[in-house]
Chains A and B, each alone.
Chain A
Amino acid sequence: MKAAVSATQAHSNETFARFYTGERDQLVRALSVMLRDPDLAAEATDEAMARAYARWGTVSAYANPAGWVYRVAANWAISRLRRRRFRGTGALPENRVTDPEPSDGSLWAAVAALPPEQRAVVVLRYGLDWPLRWVAEAVDAPLGTVKSRLSRAVANLRTRVEVDS
Chain B
Amino acid sequence: MTNDLETRLQTLVDQSPTGAPADLDHVLARGRTIRRRRHAAMAFAGAACVAGVATLAVAFASPAPRPPVVTEPPSSSEGPSSPPTPTPDTITLSDVRLPLGLIDDQGLHPNELADVPAIDGPVDRAYSDGDGGLVYQRADQPQRIYWLRGGETLEYDVWPGPTTLLGVVGWEGVRHIVFGAAIPGAEVPSQAIQFYRVATDNDEPLTAGTTFQTISTDLEVEIADGIAVTDDGRLVVSSCHLLCSTHTVPLDHPVIATGDVSADGPLGDPRPTWGLDGTTDGRMFSLAAVTSGQDLEQLTLEQVTAEGHTLDSIEIPMVDAIDGAGLQVTGDGSAAIIELRDGGETTRWLLVQDLDQPAPRIREITDVAGLLVVLGP
Q: Is the CB of B242 within 8 A of A79?
A: no
Q: Is the CB of A82 within 8 A of B272?
A: yes
In which size bucket is the chain A interface?
35 or more
Contact flags (1/0) for B20-35 with A, using CB distance below 8 Å?
Answer: 1011101110111111
Q: Is the CB of B270 within 8 A of A163?
A: no
B50: CB under 8 A from chain A? Answer: no
Choose from A21, A47, A123 the contact partner of B22 (Cβ within 8 Å).
A21
Contacting residues of chain B (1-46) with chain A, CB-CB under 8 angstroms = 1-2, 4-6, 8-20, 22-24, 26-28, 30-35, 38
Q: A46-B23, A86-B271, A145-B182 are in contact. Are A127 and B243 (CB under 8 A)?
A: no
Interfacial chain B residues near A79, Cβ < 8 Å: 272, 289, 291, 296, 323
Choose from A24, A59, A103, A157 the contact partner of B15 (Cβ within 8 Å).
A103
Q: Is the CB of A28 within 8 A of B19?
A: yes
B151: CB under 8 A from chain A? Answer: no
Q: Is the CB of B343 within 8 A of A55?
A: yes
Interfacial chain A residues near B13, Cβ < 8 Å: 26, 29-30, 33, 123, 126-128
Q: Is the CB of A17 within 8 A of B2?
A: no
Interfacial chain B residues near A66, Cβ < 8 Å: none
B132: CB under 8 A from chain A? Answer: no
Chief secondary structure at chain A's binding surface: helix
Interfacial chain A residues near B23, Cβ < 8 Å: 46
Interfacial chain B residues near A40, Cβ < 8 Å: 19
Q: A20-B22, A28-B18, A82-B291 are in contact. Are A142 and B162 (CB under 8 A)?
A: yes
B222: CB under 8 A from chain A? Answer: yes
In the assembly, what is the distance between CA of A98 and CA of B12, in Å?
13
Q: How far is the CB of A145 from chain B (nearest CB, A)?
A: 6
Interfacial chain A residues near B19, Cβ < 8 Å: 28, 32, 38-43
Q: Total contacts A to B, CB within 8 angstroms?
A: 191
Q: Is the CB of B16 within 8 A of A75?
A: no
Choose from B10, B30, B187 the contact partner of A126 (Cβ within 8 Å).
B10
B292: CB under 8 A from chain A? Answer: yes
Choose from A76, A102, A163 the contact partner of B323 (Cβ within 8 Å).
A76
Contact flags (1/0) for B40-66 with A, using CB distance below 8 Å?
Answer: 000000000000000000000000000
Choose from A82, A158, A161 the contact partner of B270 (Cβ within 8 Å).
A82
Which residue of chain B has its CB nearest to the CB of A24? B22
Which residue of chain B has its CB nearest to the CB of A111? B12
Q: A53-B27, A68-B344, A86-B271 are in contact. Are A152 and B222 (CB under 8 A)?
A: no
Interfacial chain A residues near B187, Cβ < 8 Å: 152
In the assembly, what is the distance between CA of A111 and CA of B8, in Å?
11
Instruction: List 18 additional A-B contacts (Cβ < 8 Å) besides A33-B13, A42-B19, A116-B243.
Output: A26-B13, A32-B17, A49-B31, A50-B33, A51-B31, A53-B31, A53-B32, A54-B31, A54-B35, A68-B343, A78-B243, A79-B291, A92-B270, A98-B17, A103-B15, A126-B9, A127-B9, A140-B223
Interface of A toward B, CB cutoff 8 Å: 13, 16-17, 20-21, 24-26, 28-30, 32-33, 38-43, 46-47, 49-56, 58-59, 68, 71-72, 74-76, 78-80, 82-83, 85-86, 92-93, 98, 100, 102-104, 107-108, 111, 116-117, 120, 122-123, 126-129, 139-142, 144-145, 148, 152, 154, 157-158, 161, 163-165
* 9 cross-chain pairs, A with B, having the tightest CB-CB distances, nearest first: A42-B19, A53-B31, A127-B13, A50-B30, A38-B19, A126-B9, A54-B34, A50-B31, A29-B16
